[in-house]
Structures are given as structure tokens and as C-alpha cells.
Amino acid sequence: MNTVILLISALLLTSCFNNKEKISVNENPEKDIILIGKTAELKTPDSSEKMTERKPEVSEINNQKKNFLKQFEKFKTVFNSKDISKLNEYINPEYGFFVLDNPGATVNAYQFNSFDSIFKNSRETDLYRLKNIEISCEPKRGKIPVYRCGDDGSSEGWDKVGCYYSDDFERNLTTGIYYFVDEDGNSNIDDNGNYTEANYILQAKFNRNAEQSENVFYSTNFMIGLYFGEINGKFYLLMINLVTPCDA
């Protein structure tokens, strides 16, 4: 009996030693294994440490609101003045900005690097109605209004009316976009109706702008949405959504 007990003890000790050896072995000192819950990730020396996300204090949130409203009021003044040179200061030269226009059933995304080609254009299509828009409302913080076409049997229109801003909104905006058009008016579709590589590059830039957006403003009266973000500590306009009736 004692012999059996001794054999079992020896086996257990051997097993524990082998397991310990497997856990502690690190053949590559430049890589460690970080255990997060039940998953494992490789950490390299230049990767950042995983840290518990700290919830912002109420005072921080209030300061963020005040800062956006302050920046937005400055932008609104410049936008209403239609001073192109000052407006262009709100456009990041690397990112540019996109204007969403939905003439009828499709949505097109136009990329611009400045306001020059919009405000100096003599055309009066929906895209260029930006020249005639003046924003006079004072936005309230709240859920962003959504314009619905009534496909589910409901009436067409906004689900709420007013002037709102928020930092909690949907950033995946590519759904329903048919064309990505560059500043020269090229839709980047070949003769066979296929999207070109340039189209996908524009789409990638559009997604980058959408992800960079931190605050959004919508006015149901002026049928417009403005998306803003901070790049290298500076406040920029990244996208404009020109909302038009679904049967337009």
C-alpha cells in the first residue's frame, strides 16, 4: 500500500514540475503572453499596456460639452459669413471633407479639399445649396434626429425636430452610398460599371473621416448634419450630410 502511495506522489510531483516548466519557459524574451479573461494576446515591447478604462468625471463631461459648443459657435459665425478663406481653416489638408448628397434613391459622397469649388460654383443643385444655408439655431445636447422615408408604412420625415448635438452617434455611414466622387467630379466607375481602385481609396478616406468624427450637429429645419473631429489638437469639419426628401 505504501509503495502505491509513493508511486502516486512521485507521478504528481513530476506532472506539477512539467506543467510549471511549460508555463515559465520563454524562448523569446521580447514577447510575453498577456492573459485577458480567457483569451491571450502577444505583447511586444512597443505595445501599450492594457489599462482599465476610467470613467470620465461629470466635470470632465461638462467641460467637453462647453468646449464643443464654444468651437461650434465660432464655426457657425464663419459658416454664416461664407468667408471662404476662414472656412478653409476648418478643413484639414490631409483629410479634406465629404458632403453626402442624396438626389433621389441613391446617396453620393463628394470629397472636397476646400470650400472654393462649392461657394464659387454657379450651379444650384442640391449639393450647392450650402451656399444659401445659414444656421441660426442654438443646439441642445441629445439624440440626433433621423430622417426616415416611411418604408415601414410610417409617414416620411424626421423622427424628432429641432437642433441637436451629440458625441454618441453612428459612425458607420457607408451604407447606401452609391458613388464616391472626387473634387474633379470623377465618380471612379469604369466603362463597364465597375468601381475603380480610386473609388476604394475615396471610400477608405471617407471611413477615416467618419471614425475621426467626435461630435455631430443636426438641424431638422436646415436639413443638414455637420460632423467635427479633433486632429493634432485642432477642431476640424470632416463631413456634411445634406438631407433631402426621399422622393426628390
pLDDT digits (tens, 9 = 90+) for 83-113: 999 999 999 999 999 999 876 567 889 999 9
Range name among 43-52, 54-63, 70-79 with the lowest pLDDT average = 43-52
Residue 2, in any domain of the structure: no
Enclosing domain of residue 234 = 60-242
3 state DSSP class of 19: helix
pLDDT at 244: 81
Task: Considering only residues 50 and 6, tell me which one the structure prediction assigns the higher pLDDT.
Answer: 6
Does some domain include residue 28? no
Domain-located, residue 53: no
CA distances from 157 to 13, 91, 113, 160, 205 (A): 73, 31, 31, 9, 30
Does a structural domain hold residue 4?
Answer: no
pLDDT in tens, 173-221: 666 788 899 888 888 888 888 888 888 999 999 999 999 999 999 999 9
- Position 44 in a domain: no
Q: Domain count for the chain, please give it.
A: 1
- Across 144-155, average pLDDT: 80
Q: Report percent pLDDT > 70 for the chain.
A: 68
pLDDT at res. 103: 62
Write 244-247 long-range contacts (CB < 8 A, 24+): 244/101, 244/102, 244/103, 244/126, 245/156, 246/105, 246/149, 246/150, 246/156, 247/104, 247/156
Q: Is the pTM of this model over 0.75?
A: no
Highest mean pLDDT among 33-42, 56-65, 141-150: 141-150
User: 205 lies in a domain?
Assistant: yes
Cβ contact 244:126 at 8 Å = yes
3-state secondary structure of 99: strand
